Amino acid sequence: MRWVNTSIGLLTLAVALGAGCLTPLPYTLDTSLPWEPQLEVSPAALDFGEPLEGARLEAPLTLRNAGQLDLEIHLSLAVAEQYTAGPPVFSVGADDQRVISVFLNATTAGPALDTLMLATNDPDRPLVEIPLQATVLPAE
């Protein structure tokens, strides 16, 4: 019997060869999830409708990590006048999700447009932009 080392991606396996046959080890490699972090966002945009001036509205945003390494997220807003979201920095574990709240503080009548930016360590989506919109109506 002789031992042979072989590699599958980052995983090194030792297998025993003997009598012309390969003896498999009792380990399985989970390939159902990607190895790197992978961000999924739902919904892709938030529309707060037509609130009255002075209203405070909240909308959920689901951030899912479909990968097998922790996903690091840094939130920021392009304008940050009438919208808030937080916390500004957090992580989502492998194959897990987190729901954050985005708030509209309707302080000024007219269009309320902004972009929530998610900077991540997902190699395929390092920056994701979520459009935020509302039309704030004057209070009567």
Asked whether 39 and 121 are in contact (CB, 8 A), the reply is: no
Q: How far is CA 42 from CA 12, 17, 86, 107, in A?
A: 37, 49, 16, 26
pLDDT digit string (tens) for the chain, length 140 residues: 555 555 555 455 555 555 555 555 566 655 655 689 999 999 999 999 999 999 999 999 999 999 999 999 999 999 989 999 999 999 999 999 999 999 999 999 999 999 999 999 999 999 999 999 999 999 97
37 close to 63: Cβ distance less than 8 angstroms: no
* Cis, peptide link before residue 51, omega less than 30° from 0: no
Cβ(106)–Cβ(136) under 8 Å? Answer: yes
- Token reading at 60: 């959920």
CATH architecture, domain defined by 39-136: Sandwich (2.60)
Instruction: Provide the token pair at 29.
Output: 């490699």
Longest distance between any two alpha carbons in the chain, whole Å: 89
- Show me where the domains of the chain are located: 39-136
For 114, the 3-state DSSP assignment is strand
pTM for this one? 0.76
Q: Is the dihedral of CA 39, 43, 45, 51 positive or negative?
A: negative
What residues form DSSP beta bridges with 11? 8
